[in-house]
Amino acid sequence: MRRRTFLKGTLMGSAAAAVPLSGLAQGTAAAAGTVNVGSIAALQGAIDAAGPGDRIVLADGAYTVPSAGIRITGKHGTTDAPITIVSAGRGGAVLNGSAGFVLSASSNITLSGFAFRQTTTLAVPADCSRIRLTRNDFKLADSAGLDWVTVRGDDVKVDRNYFHHRTSQGIFLVIDGPGTTAMAQRTHVFRNYFADHSYTGANGGEAIRLGVSHRALSVADALVEYNLFERCDGDPEAISVKSSGNTIRYNTLRDSKGGIVLRHGNVTTVAGNHILGGENGVRLYGNDHLVVNNHIAGTTSRGIVIGSGTTRDHHEGETTEERRGNDACDRAVIAHNTLVGNAATLSGESRTHEPRDVVVADNILVASGGTLVNLGTTSGFTWQGNILWGTAANGTIPAGGFRRVDPLLRKDADGISRLTAGSPAVDAATLTSLSVPEDADGHARGTARDVGADEYSTLAPVRRPLTTTDVGPNAA
């Protein structure tokens, strides 16, 4: 797996839209390596003739794509000189019809700036690698069971796109893989805007599904970061992880039914995410996960759920039904999170296999009603350094695992509850075995860490909850 590092840098606002290219003859070169076209037939011809470094620009307008699609077959750019196929203005070239781009046996291809309005899935197949989908607008057919984008190839980037407005069962973005058990490798999903999925069924309307049950034991090494989810109500799982070895960080989920759910698989990190309002927070099954530096506030269901299981561990040779079951959460580390004002703060479940050997350390849990910790049977848990506050009952947390003391939080204009001067959380963290170099704001923690997701500082946050200016086609 590639090494993960905590990124620094301020969030940028919206960039100026690309200047449309105009006044150039259809199919003629505007500059070295650039060809401007004004029809689907001319676009197809330019793609067929393209080589590394070429840029093909489709004029703005509405186009009906033939049923065979716009074919990209056997075309290869290079890492430094991809073949780029772009709309003249962001969202200006609207592609209608049953199919859009149809890729096969290609690599280092960038598709940018299109408005996709197809009735079939845009797929990156397993024989394609280093494909980039960037600054596009996805609003495909609102048809039950249609997944809008599916990735099976390796090293694919999906960035700065807008996925929006559907009422039917189906998923905005599926990351899958070749064969029956493998996963696409090193998918990078960043700075996308997922919004307004209003499917009312119980299952099948995720914003992102990263894997599927029969691929759960395969390492995907995917990185899902800096994405904004708003009103993603199609499923209790906005980000549904069903594979192993992934990182979900620095995302903002706002006013959504869906939360971040490690449904299948092992060894995934959930770090520095903001879940504000909505229904669900973080829920985890499987082994050896890390949940750190997350801020979860105002959810109407559960903040963090440490899942129990119908099975102890998924393994090769399981039946299909066994693999679909819940794997009890073992050896997770849940540390340095701040949970404020959730209907249920830290919860468990009651399946046959209890969670085991989980570390719950240095978290801040605050609520004015209900119970702060409501776990059933557990085995081998470590509780230490947590701070509990509010009129909610302590619940099932053991006496030695917490202090009941006011953490002196201040809710800032961005909706985040941060420490104030004199807080008993300052320099009070206890879990020395865990390396946590930064807090949720991107501030250095130092050697004496504070309890919760925030390290007290008078500096402005480096990272804040995302807004629409930080994501989508016009993001920096």
- Which tens digit of pLDDT belongs to each residue from 340-360? 999 999 999 999 999 999 999
For residue 14, is pLDDT > 80? no
Tell me which architecture the domain covering 121-470 has in CATH.
3 Solenoid (2.160)
Q: What is the mean pLDDT of residues 117-143?
A: 98
Q: What is the mean pLDDT of residues 49-67?
A: 98
Give the chain's mean pLDDT: 93
According to the model, what pLDDT value does residue 21 have? 32
For residue 20, is pLDDT > 50? no
- Which tens digit of pLDDT belongs to each residue from 131-140? 999 999 999 9
Q: For residues 422 and 148, what is the distance between their CA atoms, to the nearest angstrom?
A: 50
Q: How confident is the model at residue 18 (pLDDT cuts 50, 70, 90)?
A: very low
Q: How confident is the model at residue 32 (pLDDT cuts 50, 70, 90)?
A: low
For residue 405, is pLDDT > 60? yes
Token digits of residue 35: 């060809």
According to the model, what pLDDT value does residue 202 have? 87
For residue 396, is pLDDT > 80? yes
Q: How confident is the model at residue 120 (pLDDT cuts 50, 70, 90)?
A: very high
Q: What is the mean pLDDT of residues 92-119?
A: 98
According to the model, what pLDDT value does residue 29 have? 47
Q: Which of 21-25, 62-66, 81-85, 134-138 has the lowest mean pLDDT?
A: 21-25
For residue 26, is pLDDT > 90? no
For residue 28, is pLDDT > 70? no
According to the model, what pLDDT value does residue 321 have? 85
pTM of the model: 0.93
| Percentage of the chain exceeding pLDDT 90 | 90
For residue 460, is pLDDT > 90? yes
For residue 17, is pLDDT > 50? no
For residue 102, is pLDDT > 90? yes
Q: How confident is the model at residue 412 (pLDDT cuts 50, 70, 90)?
A: very high
Q: Which of 10-19, 286-295, 342-351, 436-445 has the lowest mean pLDDT?
A: 10-19
Q: What is the mean pLDDT of residues 237-247?
A: 98
For residue 204, is pLDDT > 70? yes
Q: For residues 298 and 342, what is the distance between their CA atoms, to the nearest angstrom?
A: 5
